[in-house]
Amino acid sequence: MSDSSSGSLYVVATPIGNLDDLSPRAARVLAEVALVAAEDTRHSARLLRHLGLHRPLLSLHEHNETARVAQIDARLGAGDDIALISDAGTPLISDPGFVLVRELRARGRRVVPIPGACALVAALSAAGLPTDRFLFEGFLPARGSARRARLEALAEREETLVLYESPHRIRDTLADIGAVLGQRHLVLARELTKAYETFLEGSAESLSIRLAEDPDQARGEFVVMLAGAEPRRGAAMQIDGEALLRALLDEGMGVKQAAGVAARLLGGTKKAWYARAQVIKETRQSH
State the pLDDT at residue 1.
41
DSSP 20: G
One-letter amino acid for residue 211 of the chain: L
What order of strands is seen across the sheet that includes strand 222-226? 134-139, 160-165, 222-226, 186-190, 198-202
Query: Are the C-beta atoms of 51 and 27 separated by less than 8 Å?
Result: yes
Q: What is the pLDDT along the chain (287 residues), one digit of tens a residue?
A: 456 689 999 999 999 999 999 999 999 999 999 999 999 999 999 999 999 999 999 999 999 999 999 999 999 999 999 999 999 999 999 999 999 999 999 999 999 999 999 999 999 999 999 999 999 999 999 999 999 999 999 999 999 999 999 999 999 999 999 999 999 999 999 999 999 999 999 999 999 999 999 999 999 999 999 999 988 655 444 557 888 888 888 888 999 998 888 888 887 888 888 888 888 888 887 76
- C-alpha radius of gyration, the chain, whole number: 25
Q: Are 94 and 39 in contact (CB under 8 A)?
A: no
Residue 235 pLDDT: 46
pTM of the model: 0.78
CATH topology for the 120-226 domain: 3.30.950
Task: Go through 107-136 and write b for each residue having 16 or more CB atoms within 10 A of its CB, e for each that does not.
Answer: eebbbeebebbbbbbbbbeebebeeeebeb
CATH number of 8-117: 3.40.1010.10
Full 3-state SS string of 114-162: ECCCCHHHHHHHHHCCCCCCEEEEEECCCCHHHHHHHHHHHCCCCCEEE
Q: What is the pLDDT of residue 233?
A: 58
Domain ranges of the chain: 8-117, 120-226, 234-286
**What is the spatial distance between Cα 253 and Cα 190, in angstroms, rounded to a whole number?**
53
pLDDT for res 84: 98
Distance CA 250, CA 276 (A): 15
Residues 132/160, Cβ–Cβ less than 8 Å: no
DSSP state letter for 247: H
pLDDT at 240: 73
